[in-house]
Structure 1
Amino acid sequence: MKAKLTKPPMGWNSWDCYGASVTEEEVRRNAEYMAKNLKEFGWEYVVVDIQWFEPNAKSADYNKNASLIMDEYSRLMPAVNRFPSAEGGKGFKPLADYVHSLGLKFGIHILRGIPKQAVRQNTKILGTTHTAAEIADFGSVCDWNGDMCGVDMSRDGAQEYYNSIIKMYAEWGVDFIKVDDIARPYHKAEIEGVQNAIQASGRDIILSLSPGEAPLKEAKHLNEYAHMWRMTDDFWDGWEQLKKMFDYCRNWFPYVCDGGYPDCDMLPLGRIGIRSHGGDRMTNFTRDEQRMMMTLWSMFRSPLMFGGDMVYNDEFTLSLMTNKTIIEIDQNGYAGREVYRKGNEIVWAANGKDGKYYVAQFNIGEEEITAKTDLAFVGIMPNENVKITEVWENKKAELNDNTIISTVPPHGVKLFEIVL
């Protein structure tokens, strides 16, 4: 059985700000910021994204035929020039220990498969008489990163290879693994191989699968073997991508459950693009769009993985991350669902604890709208003691004949907490 997980993970990932080139110093300072400012609100995962094993990574671009740091057993190791504490074969253990000392959890990104470098050198597979070339699937390669090729799970030594790398990560103290190039196209056997290796490691490790779109028809299999999986390709700070996310969430919300979270992808907020896509900037999303994104992610119960360098957060960005109602919906809400669409108006509802309900009125259009939501239609029957608060403005709201009526700006949202 996969590790138990009852809430969507909340954390930070280095990709949106540093692409393939994050350093240990940058990871540590973001961990320190999280511990000081966000841990009390539930943020806990600190995740090092792709290419941590490549000394010469400089941006979000991948170096062709890059020389990778690898041990004698075909296992990639952190580049010491970027992660000095890994020197002497220590791997990520010193960094993971530091993150743990802050009361947080540590995660890494890996690519599906075995390094092509290991295949060329025909290096060993730990604990077996087999070698990298014997288990490699040369017909299954990533079309956007040239470092790896697939593993043929029908071959002797294949499961042992995955066991060997996951056991090493467990010994480092890894709590979260994001496996890329595995959900699109869908590599069922390798997904099972990774989860089997996690269980064999003896450590509870959260498994995240990328990129999207993960196939909807595999929802049952995804929920059995993974904790979260991407619904989309990389999500960035563009309006059309945010608008499209409503379609993905409508398709996937019936499959959200404890321990199985379709993933809207990272939150490209704050200072992003420092050495990643689009160049150094504060997010291109307007404040209304940022509130819309946070509301949709929470009503859907997506994992919340922040993408910016948190050290540069302004007051507004921090207020998004520490909004207690948004976090409560995401972490403890249930039955999040799209209720209806009417023109540019999209309404979502979710149930909460202790007699609470949540209703979100979204405007995906270019002009202001008047949204009218009959609570009976949503399935909520208010009593005379009902209390309604608009969450983002923290203002009391009133019913008009059992209907919430509000003015919603373009690309904006009104989110209501209803207490019966």
Structure 2
Amino acid sequence: MKFWFALVAAVLTGTLAHSQNMPAQRPPMGWNSWNHFGGKVTDADIRSAADALVSTGMRDAGYVYVNVDDTWQGQRDANGVIHPNERFPDMKALGDYIHSKGLKFGIYSSPGPKTCARFEGSMAHEEQDAKTYAAWGVDFLKYDLCTFQDVMKAEPDPLLRKKLMVDAYTKMGAALRATGRPILYSLCQYGFDDVWDWGPQVGASMWRTTDDIKDRYERMFIIGNSEAELARYAAPGHWNDPDMLEIGNGKMTEEEYRTHMSLWALLAAPLLAGNDLTKMSPADREILMNKDVIAIDQDALGKQAVRVYQRGEFSVWTKQLSGGRTAVGLFNSSWTNFAPAVDLGKIAVEHGGHIHDVWMHEDLGVSHGELSLPVKSHGVRLLIIDPQ
């Protein structure tokens, strides 16, 4: 109980208040190295990704963060300063290169003594690491719980275990703010202990709500649907994060990747591509750069969709958009195609309106009352309804 009184007091006095120049008024967009390159990522891979974000038009579509995930770390010197390993000869130069492309530079660490891949973490070096990141020009920090869980396990009291975790994330949040550089703070701790309740107070702009995604339809769809009860925690500057995008990594169909992109956009989720940007197919590009889908994700209201209907393997999600419009996702998670009938009045679109199909790029006219559209197996119909 004392912990929670202390936390509230800290918020009220401003000690944990997040920066006034929060860098995530809209869900962050960019690219992360882990899903494709894993622990083998190099400086050259990151530079190629930055080049590709520009040449493909993804930067201009909103994908601006270039994030180096785990395994960049080398050793600490005698003064405790972290240095990159031989695969990253000069992090400041890498950051400068990314910035020269009109992009932003992201990096990865852990509150534990080691990262997930057992490289150097930030435990007991938070202020030092934050200053180093700022000197390198870092704009984004993904902070992954990993080995700090071993520290927590040594504490038998669950409330004190939670306090240890919150304190660890608070410490790095304060260290980032103290640098004076606006660094987007991303918590990666898999949704433990209702992170959406306390994430904003430690300075975070986004927080993982689930375990890791995989490039499989079933895993992706389970993760997306697990967000159904979290809509009230999303708002400008604060985003639920169901993990990175797998689009283009090759183990889902085009229809399944459209479902992935649609669900993440409705959820106002951060859109961090995780594929090899230098080898994208035309379909990958079309899915990742569909302007209407991105606009749904980036809508100024900052609302997360709610699941308003679920019957068997068919579900309907709706998201309030600016201008009185509504985004509607019709999802078919079954192995067969079908055309369900949807009563617009029962899914929070009482008076209907003009309907635009986002993936088909076509207007479907004005509809009031019942709507029936075919939805492919593992597919989606993503609509924007404007009550003219």
Compute the TM-score of the two structures, normalised by the length of structure 2. 0.85
Q: Could you tell me whether the CA contact under 8 Å between 2:344 and 2:368 is conserved in 1? A: no
Partner of 2:197: 220
- Alignment root-mean-square deviation, CA: 2.0
How many angstroms does 1:38 deviate by?
1.1
Q: Does 1:336 align with 2:305?
A: yes
Q: Could you tell me whether the CA contact under 8 Å between 1:368 and 1:408 is conserved in 2? A: yes
How many angstroms does 1:400 deviate by?
5.6
Separation in 1 of the partners of 2:361 and 2:141?
37
Separation in 1 of the partners of 2:83 and 2:226?
36
* 2:64 paired residue among 41, 44, 55: 44
Unaligned runs of 5+ in 1: 54-67, 87-91, 116-141, 152-157, 273-282
Q: Could you tell me whether the CA contact under 8 Å between 1:398 and 1:404 is conserved in 2? A: no
Partner of 2:7: none
* 2:169 paired residue among 191, 202, 209: 191
What does the per-residue CA deviation read over 1:137-165, in whole Å, with 9 as the maximum and x for residues that have no partner? xxxxx7x54445784xxxxxx4xx31111
Q: Could you tell me whether the CA contact under 8 Å between 1:352 and 1:358 is conserved in 2? A: yes
* 1:244 paired residue among 212, 216, 222: 222
Q: Could you tell me whether the CA contact under 8 Å between 1:166 and 1:201 is conserved in 2? A: yes
SS in 2 for 1:379: coil
Task: Flag the structure with larger Rg.
Answer: 1
Q: Does 1:2 align with 2:18?
A: yes
SS in 2 for 1:20: helix
How many angstroms does 1:352 deviate by?
1.4
How many angstroms does 1:335 deviate by?
4.5
Q: Does 1:353 align with 2:322?
A: yes
What does the per-residue CA deviation read over 1:64-83, in whole Å, with 9 as the maximum and x for residues that have no partner? xxxx422223232111x312
Partner of 2:187: 209
Partner of 2:340: 371
How many angstroms does 1:204 deviate by?
0.6
Partner of 2:46: 27
Q: Could you tell me whether the CA contact under 8 Å between 1:214 and 1:230 is conserved in 2? A: no
Matched length: 350
How many angstroms does 1:229 deviate by?
1.2
Separation in 1 of the partners of 2:50 and 2:81?
26
How many angstroms does 1:380 deviate by?
2.1
Partner of 1:134: none
What does the per-residue CA deviation read over 1:270-289, in whole Å, with 9 as the maximum and x for residues that have no partner? 2x4xxxxxxxxxx2111111
Partner of 2:82: 76
Q: Could you tell me whether the CA contact under 8 Å between 1:361 and 1:371 is conserved in 2? A: no
1:320–1:164 Cα change, 3 Å: same
How many angstroms does 1:337 deviate by?
1.1
How many angstroms does 1:269 deviate by?
2.0
SS in 1 for 2:39: coil
Partner of 2:10: none
Identity of aligned residues (%): 31
Q: Could you tell me whether the CA contact under 8 Å between 2:331 and 2:375 is conserved in 1? A: yes
Superposed counterparts of 1:211-360, under 5 Å = 211-216=189-194, 218-225=195-202, 226-270=204-248, 272=249, 283-332=250-299, 334-360=303-329
SS in 2 for 1:294: helix
SS in 2 for 1:318: helix
Question: Which 4+ runs in 1 deviate beyond 3 A?
Answer: 144-151, 182-186, 398-401
Q: Could you tell me whether the CA contact under 8 Å between 1:340 and 1:348 is conserved in 2? A: yes
How many angstroms does 1:299 deviate by?
0.3
Unaligned runs of 5+ in 2: 1-16, 153-161
Which residue type is aligned with residue 220 of structure 1?
A: D
1:112–1:405 Cα change, 3 Å: same
How many angstroms does 1:321 deviate by?
1.4
Which residue type is aligned with residue 344 of structure 2?
A: L
Compute the TM-score of the two structures, normalised by the length of structure 1. 0.79
Partner of 2:156: none
1:326–1:25 Cα change, 3 Å: same
Partner of 2:12: none
SS in 2 for 1:77: strand
How many angstroms does 1:20 deviate by?
1.2
Separation in 2 of the partners of 1:104 and 1:214?
31
